[in-house]
Structure formats: structure tokens, C-alpha cells
Amino acid sequence: MKILLASILVIPLLAQGQKPQAATSAEPAKPAPEEGIPVTSQLVISKCGACHTKDEKGNMLRISWERATPEGWEEAIKRMVRLRGVSLTPDEARSILKYLATYHGLAPEEAKPVMYYAEHRILDETNIPTDNVRGACTNCHPMARPLSWRRSPEDWKYLANLHIALYPQADEAFRLGISAGGFDEDRHHQEPGAPLPVDEALAFFGKTAPLKTPDWAAWRARMRAPKLTGRWIVSASLPGRGKFYGDMEVAATSGTDDEFTTRVKLTSVKDGSTISRTGHSLVYAGYAWRGRSKGTPAANAAPDDLASETREVMWISPDQSMAEGRWFWGEYQEFGFDVKLQRPSADPTLLGADRSLLKTGSQGTRVRLIAQSLPAQIAPADLDFGTGVTVRRIVSHTPTEIVAEVDVAADAVPGKRDIAFGRSVLQSAMAVYDRVDYIKVTPDSALAHLGSEKHPKGYQQFEAVAYQRGADGKVHTADDVELGPIDVNWSVEEFYSVYGDDDKEFVGSLSNAGLFTPASDGPNPQRKFSRNNYGDVWVVATAKDEKDKDGRPLIGKSYLVVTVPTYIKWDQPEVGQ
């Protein structure tokens, strides 16, 4: 294979996992066709330069032809320590990571589309261009892993070679493009000379994720120290728990311009309870927030305790006026707040509402609006809920909250409405509906892990979201209106895959707030054949108050697989402090 030949010098050394030899070059000596990014850090030069030799322009082999997210660099550095015997103190590793993630980083616009990876969100990736690329590159890790990197075309090739040397199934995936659907016989009989799936993938990355981009050139010029100290307004939501609002106070860590300590106070819109958290964080490349924070968890805290220690991954907007991301925790990062930070404004600003739906013909419904910098006087006319909704009176108000009573006309057109106060607008914040047509349980398919003392459990929180059929009068079409979460009763039903299935009795339990707690790992003597407690079930939501058009209960379902713990974990990059 031609790609193998390109770095034949590197492979044997690696494949045998031998100890490093200082004289080993990280790449065969041959002129690079593309200008690299010169390395100016003395620490990087002294720690990495023995193998990654430097040319007269200051370009270091490999390193100068690569850019990546902080997680990407963290992984690369860890591998150098693990496989190449590089020794670094924690402080050195941290400085090198900071330097590379900043000067060989991604522009904010490049990082945004792969934030879900650092945020540990589970989603169906829509960034895979073809089945061949899917088969070559997404069997072992998400597409976001390569898309967290920018490399020269040459360097993408070296990466593929390394995969073949290190990971047993890579060669097969690269040649055959095996996809989750199974093995494709046709591909086995490739036309001689036809491009292999890996060639297609490398051409794709060379074009889509090149070393030099206009976004990066612009960001290199524009990047500045993050000026984040002071107060931020936090809006957060947590599946199953609703919305939270509050403040975050950010202070600089002395002697640095990219490290901070934080103090957060959040209030639940649902029940008024408060959470206080303190933490610290580091900002890479002027916008990549990686931190940790925690409250004071109770001694025997529940796994979804809101005081749990969380990791914080956020994307700060280039103008430093806004940040958004996820604060997550759990063995499988399965719990997490979706968070948005904005700077306080002296002008009245709406932040959110305590409900997301209003029924046609309803009278005197109370809506609580969370806001900031509200004036001393507020009249019904200051608020606008859109056509067909009348603000009857203002029940109460403070500088940060308005409670209003609203009437909805019986003939109001169903659909989303903005809520406005003066110039501040909450877009599509309220849905007017005549009836709920169906409910969906999210996630619509889910995975939970049994656990033991050694391997903590993997939980799953469910939520039921209501929908209205939309203007075309048909359900499950593009114009359906999402009405937001509604109150439901939760239950578990058997998913009949095997005759006499009894998984429901063993896999675990579902709380009345939709939190699934898996059972313990290990053989269960109470079960036929002492099977482990794994299995698959339906998680069922039945709406409490709403009925369908024929007056029958509204029901939604999600398919839940409960499996064994992940006994071996791939390295999980950890770039927070």
C-alpha cells in the first residue's frame, strides 16, 4: 500500500513499542510541500525537539503541520508520554498543552461544529460525507475526533499510517470501509486502482480540515486575552429538572491572564431551590473554556445531585460577550446542564419564562418571566406575547421578575410566539396550542450501564416533550410545533425480543421524575440461567393532564438498552484544571 511506504521508518519502531531513541526522527526526512507553523516555545523545542527536529524556519516535524482542540493536543501529548517515553512534569505538560492549543489551535468557527465532542453529547453525527468515509473512520471513534484536527495533506497520511501500525482493525476498515451495516461484498472486489475508502477519507480531510484556513488566519490576528472577570448572567437547563437562572462571578487568578476562579448561584424555575457552586477554569486560544466546579454534595448524594462536581466545557464568542456549553458529570458524562452565559445589561432584558405553552381559550394563566434590570413601573402594555394573547394584568414584579396574567383567544392561531419587553425579545419562547397531538420521549433510544463498586453505573434521564400537529393538520410532519416538556407518569414495559422475556423485572428502576437507575452488574441467581441484569425495555411516558383528540391518554416511548459496564475505557482527554 502506497501510504504505508511513506513512513516506513516510523512504523516498526512504534509497532514494537520500543523505548525511544533520541536520534529517531518523527518523520522521514523529506521536504514538506507546505509551509508549517513555526514553534516558538522553548519548552516545546527542548522537550520534543530530539525527535521532532526543527528546520531553519523553526518548523518542527509533524507538530508544525497540525492544529487541534485542547482535547486533541492533550491526547497527542499523552501518547508521546505513553509510547515514546517522553517525560514531563505536570506543569510542563500543562504549559505545552496551553501553548499548542493556543498557537496551533482551532479558530472558534472551526471548533464550534465539534463542541459536542468535548461536551460529551451523544448525537447522530451529520458531518460524515460518504459511506466510504463512515466505514473508514467512524467505526472506532466519532467523526468529531478527526474533525478536531487540522493538518496538511501529508500529515493526514502519516496519521492513517500510524493507525495501521497501532490499531489492529484499522487496515481492514481503511481498505473495505466496513460500516455499521455490515460487510459490503461488492467492495471486496474493488476495481484495481479504484480509490480505497481511506483514500477518499484522506482527500476529504485534506480539503475540509486543512492546516491553513482563512478562519485561523483571522483568529491568529484577532485572538486576545479573555477578559472575563466580573459578573455574568447564567441561563441553564437540565433534562428532567427544567430551567435555572442565576449569576456567575468570575475572578482572575493572579499572575495569569487565562485562568479564573468562579462562583455561581442558580435558582430553579420549577421549585425555587438554589445551587451554589465554586470552581476554576482555564481558557485556551482566547475562547475555549475548560473548568471544573462543585457545590457541597450531601454525604450520601444521589448520582444526579446538583451539587456534584462537574466539568465545564464552553465556547466563548469571539467578541467575549457570550459563552455557551455544557457542565457535565457522571461516569458516562450522562448528566449535564446546557448553559448559556451573557453579560448583564443596564437595559431591561428578558431571560426566560417558567412555562413554554399556553392553551387557546385559557383565561388568567400566570406566566413568570425571569429578567434583569427591570424598571420600577411595569404596565401590561409593556409586555407583548404576540397575536391572540392578551396581558390582563401584572400580578407582581421585582427588578428581576414579572408575574403576568394572560388570556388566550379561543381562535388564536396555534404556533410559537415571541415574548417582548421593550426591545428585549425572547424568541419563540411561548407556544400557543389547542391540544397536544402527541408526545415524544427524549432521548428516543438510550443506553444505560449496569454497575458495581468497581464500575459505577451509567444512568439515563428521560424527558417527555409535547407536540402539536401544526398548520397542515397532520402529525409527524415538518411543521409540527414543539410545545416543550410536559408532566407525565413514567413506567417501564417489556420489549419482547425473546419469548418469555422478563427484562423489565431486572434491568433497574425508573423514578417518577424519569431517571432510570440500572441494577447491579454480575450474575443474578434470581434470573433464569443466572443471567446478568442486562436487557432491553420500553420507557413509557403517559401524559398526566393532556388527552389526545379522542380523549385517550397520550403515550410516548423510548427504547432503552441496559448493558454491562464499559470495563475498559479509551483515554478520556481531560484538559480542565
Q: Does 80 bind ligand HEC (CB under 6 A)?
A: yes
Q: Are 13 and 84 in contact (CB under 8 A)?
A: no
- Which stretch in 77-85, 225-233, 285-293, 493-501 sits in contact with ligand HEC by CB under 6 A? 77-85
196's CB contacts (< 8 A; 6+ apart) are 136, 174, 175, 177, 190
3 binds ligand HEC, rule: CB under 6 A = no
Q: Would you say 529 or 570 has its CB closer to ligand HEC?
A: 570
499 near ligand HEC, judged by CB under 6 A: no
Cell representation of residue 522: 454480575
Angle at alpha carbon of residue 214, lines to 212 and 220, rounded to 5°: 80
Taking CA atoms, 310 is separated from 245, 303, 461, in Å, by: 17, 12, 17
Is residue 541 close enough to count as binding ligand HEC by CB under 6 A? no
What x-and-dash track marks residues 182-221 binding ligand HEC by CB under 6 A?
----------------x--x---x----------------
Nearest approach, Cβ of 389 to ligand HEC (angstroms)? 51
Query: Residue 140 or 218: which CB sits closer to ligand HEC?
Result: 140
Q: State yes or no: residue 45 binds ligand HEC (CB under 6 A).
A: no
Binding mask 47-66 toward ligand HEC (x if CB under 6 A, else -) reads xx-xxx---------xx--x
Shortest Cβ distance from residue 68 to ligand HEC (Å)?
Answer: 8
Nearer to ligand HEC, 71 or 521 (CB): 71
Q: Which of 140, 301, 395, 498 binds ligand HEC (CB under 6 A)?
A: 140
Rounded distance, CA 272 to CA 270, Å?
Answer: 6
Q: How many CA atoms lie within 13 A of 204 on its CB side?
A: 20
Cα–Cα distances (Å) from 410 to 388, 420, 430, 467, 546, in that order, read 8, 22, 16, 19, 18
End-to-end C-alpha distance for the chain, whole angstroms: 43
CA distance linking residue 527 with residue 535, whole number of Å:
12
CA torsion angle 302 305 311 314 (round to 10): 140
- In the range 230-269, which residues lie near ligand HEC by CB under 6 A? none
Q: Pick the closer one to ligand HEC by CB: 149 or 244.
A: 149
CB of 152 to ligand HEC, least distance (A): 11
Distances from the Cα of 479 to the Cαs of 409, 416, 467, 475, in angstroms? 22, 11, 10, 9
Q: Residue 449, class by beta-carbon neighbours within 10 Å (0-12 exposed, 13-18 middle, 19+ buried)?
A: buried
**Min CB(289)–ligand HEC separation in Å:** 22
Q: Which of residues 6, 39, 77, 316 is near ligand HEC by CB under 6 A? A: 77
Beta carbon of residue 81, minimum distance to ligand HEC (angstroms, whole number): 8
Choose the stretch contacting ligand HEC; rule: CB under 6 A; options: 82-90, 243-251, 472-480, 503-511: 82-90
Shortest approach of ligand HEC to residue 467 CB, angstroms?
Answer: 38
Q: Check binding of 465 to ligand HEC (CB under 6 A).
A: no
Q: Where do we find the cell 468497581? A: 454
Q: Is 24 in the site for ligand HEC (CB under 6 A)?
A: yes
Cell numbers placing 51 = 525527535
CB 463 within 8 A of CB 442: yes
Indicate whether 475 belongs to the interface with ligand HEC (CB under 6 A). no
Decide if residue 341 touches ligand HEC (CB under 6 A).
Answer: no
Binding track over 92-131 against ligand HEC, x by CB under 6 A: ----x-----------------------------------
- Are the CB atoms for 137 and 159 separated by under 8 Å? no
- Is 164 a residue that touches ligand HEC (CB under 6 A)? no
Number of shown-chain residues binding ligand HEC (CB under 6 A): 44
Given the complex with ligand HEC, which of 66 and 437 has the nearer CB atom? 66
Cα–Cα dist 301/321, whole Å: 35
Q: Environment class of residue 120 by beta-carbon count within 10 Å: exposed (0-12), middle (13-18) or buried (19+)?
A: middle
The residue whose grid cell reads 512504534 is: 14
Which CB sits closer to ligand HEC, 208 or 424?
208
Name the residue nearer to ligand HEC (CB basis): 146 or 330: 146
Residue 54 Cβ vs ligand HEC, minimum distance, rounded to whole Å: 12
Applying CB under 6 A, the span of 81-89, 293-301, 441-449, 479-487 interacting with ligand HEC comes to: 81-89
Cα 3 from Cα 7, distance rounded (Å): 8
Q: Does 84 bind ligand HEC (CB under 6 A)?
A: yes
CA distances from 394 to 95, 114, 364, 421 (A): 55, 44, 11, 13
Cβ-count burial of 75 within 10 angstroms (0-12 exposed, 13-18 middle, 19+ buried)? buried
- Which residue type, as a one-letter code, is found at position 437? D
Asked if 86 is part of the footprint of ligand HEC (rule: CB under 6 A), the reply reads yes
Nearest Cα residue to 65 out of 22, 30, 90: 30
Pick the closest to residue 294 from 329, 270, 269 (CA basis): 329
The only residue of 37, 39, 74, 75 in contact with ligand HEC, by rule CB under 6 A: 75
Instruction: Please report whether residue 574 would count as binding ligand HEC according to CB under 6 A.
Output: no
Comparing CB distances to ligand HEC, the nearer of 148 and 308 is: 148
Does residue 163 touch ligand HEC according to CB under 6 A? yes
Q: Which range of residues in 75-83, 366-374, 440-448, 490-498 is near ligand HEC by CB under 6 A?
A: 75-83
Question: By CB under 6 A, which span of 136-144, 390-398, 535-543, 551-559 interacts with ligand HEC?
Answer: 136-144
Stretch that binds ligand HEC, among 165-173, 210-218, 312-320, 389-397 (CB under 6 A): 165-173
Q: Which of 76, 203, 425, 561 binds ligand HEC (CB under 6 A)?
A: 76
Within 8 A by CB and 6+ apart from 321, the residues are 342, 343
Q: Which of 142, 139, 150 is nearest to 126 (CA)?
A: 142
> Would you tell me which residues interact with ligand HEC (CB under 6 A)?
10, 14, 20, 24, 26, 47-48, 50-52, 62-63, 66, 75-77, 79-80, 83-84, 86, 96, 136-137, 139-141, 145-146, 149, 158-160, 162-163, 167, 169-170, 173, 198, 201, 205, 570-571
